Copies of this chain bind each other. A is one copy, B any other.
Amino acid sequence: MAASVVLNGSRSSAGVSEATRQRILSAASELGYSANVTARGLRNVRFKCLGVSCGYTDPFSTPDPRDSTNTSWMMADYYGSYLLNGILRAAHNRGYNVMHFHKAWRDAAHSAAGFRGQGIDGFLIIAPDPDSDMVSGLSALGIPAVVISSSSDQHGVPSVDVDNAAAVRMVLDHLLALGHRRIGYLMEPSDQVDHRIRRDSFLQGLRDSGLPAKPEYMVVASDADFKERVRALLTGPEPPSAVFACDDRTAIRLIQLAHEIGLRVPQDLSIVGFDDSPAASVVTPPLTTVRQPLSPMAEKATDLLISLVEEEPVATQTHWFDPVLVVRESTSPPIS
């Protein structure tokens, strides 16, 4: 009836008399009326709800390597926190709720249908596995989606990402300007696109600067063999005077191990991290690192998704964000 028209302020609300209008509004507020989003959804109206999906094949499979108060996967890490902060803020500004929808994804044929009819208008997909057909699968079903932190505009799906190549270039320039010539790269085993891009950019940057990319300076260390491999790097015949770690967590472990070995940071070893995590400013020495503007990126992604959902025009490309080099005290000119 007319009530619906008035309460939604829908286009045809012109055809309702002012008296009726008032009658409806006052009755509604008196009864504390609030529309049933569920019933409304059945009629193909917006749910005003966005889903957040991490693009992992099985988001909960990672065993918790740390203690019980600690976190075991992305959404509960500082990385996910920063993203969630931006997502919630942007969603709230436009009147949307946010739902965690971290379902395991097999392939489009098996998994895509489970993303419809869930009371969600569109999905934010975080760091999807490049081999997964999640993005194309949802896209094929006409489900609005935006990709965070993986510049995959292949499927006409917008995405946001930090310019990893630029970030690496900034770090390299910083270290080169300080006078470093023996620069190592330390990463965890990871098949994330971003990590691969960073590694490749590092090698490219070395080449561009006329420095050799020594294979022994490129270290991949897991939690298990971290000490062993890093010790080998730092105590070799010609150890690097600076190491760029793929993330802050790794960089901080590196600082601690360097101290154990008896190296001074930064005098004997300059260290650069990636992320500007909360711990970065608190370690000794405070960590030089690259800040990814994660919250702004997530806000942008959320805005894009809502625009998509509301059928506003949207640029289906990668929206790049500039990294910021945060220079603290873990880098200095090399002593020798």
* Interface, chain A (partner B; CB < 8 A): 32-39, 41-42, 47, 49, 60, 68-73, 75-78, 80-82, 84-85, 88-89, 91-92, 97-102, 109-110, 112-114, 116-119, 252, 276-279, 282-284, 291-296
Contact = CB atoms under 8 A, between A and B. Distances in A.
Given A69-B292, A69-B295, A75 B88 contact: yes
Contacts of A276: 69
A99 B99 contact: yes
B68 A113 contact: no
Nearest to A92: B60
Contacts of A282: 252, 279, 282-283
* 3 residue pairs, one from A and one from B, having the closest CB atoms: A36-B117, A76-B85, A284-B284
Contacts of A81: 71, 76-78, 80-81
Max chain B C-beta neighbours (<10 A), residue from A34, A36, A100, A114: A100
Contact of A100 (B76, B82, B98): B98
Contacts of A49: 99, 119
A35 to B, nearest CB: 7
Given A37-B119, A119-B38, A279-B278, A69 B82 contact: yes
B71 A116 contact: no
Contact of A32 (B42, B75, B85, B112): B112
A117 B41 CA distance: 11
The copy count of this chain in the complex is 2
5 contacts: A32-B109, A69-B291, A71-B295, A72-B89, A99-B100
Contacts of A97: 99-101, 118
A42 to B, nearest CB: 6
A72 B92 contact: no
B75 A78 contact: no
A230 B110 CA distance: 60
Nearest to A275: B69
A119 B291 CA distance: 37
Nearest to A283: B282
A76 B88 contact: yes
Contacts of A100: 88, 91, 97-100
Given A34-B117, A38-B117, A78-B81, 16 more contacts: A32-B112, A34-B113, A38-B42, A42-B42, A60-B89, A69-B293, A69-B294, A71-B82, A71-B85, A73-B85, A76-B85, A78-B278, A80-B81, A81-B81, A97-B118, A284-B284
B69 A75 contact: no
A156 to B, nearest CB: 22
A88 B109 contact: no
Given A76-B85, A88-B100, A110 B32 contact: yes
Nearest to A249: B278
Contacts of A35: 117
A85 B91 CA distance: 21
A44 B291 CA distance: 47
A84 to B, nearest CB: 5
A91 B278 CA distance: 27
Contacts of A34: 113-114, 116-117
Nearest to A48: B118
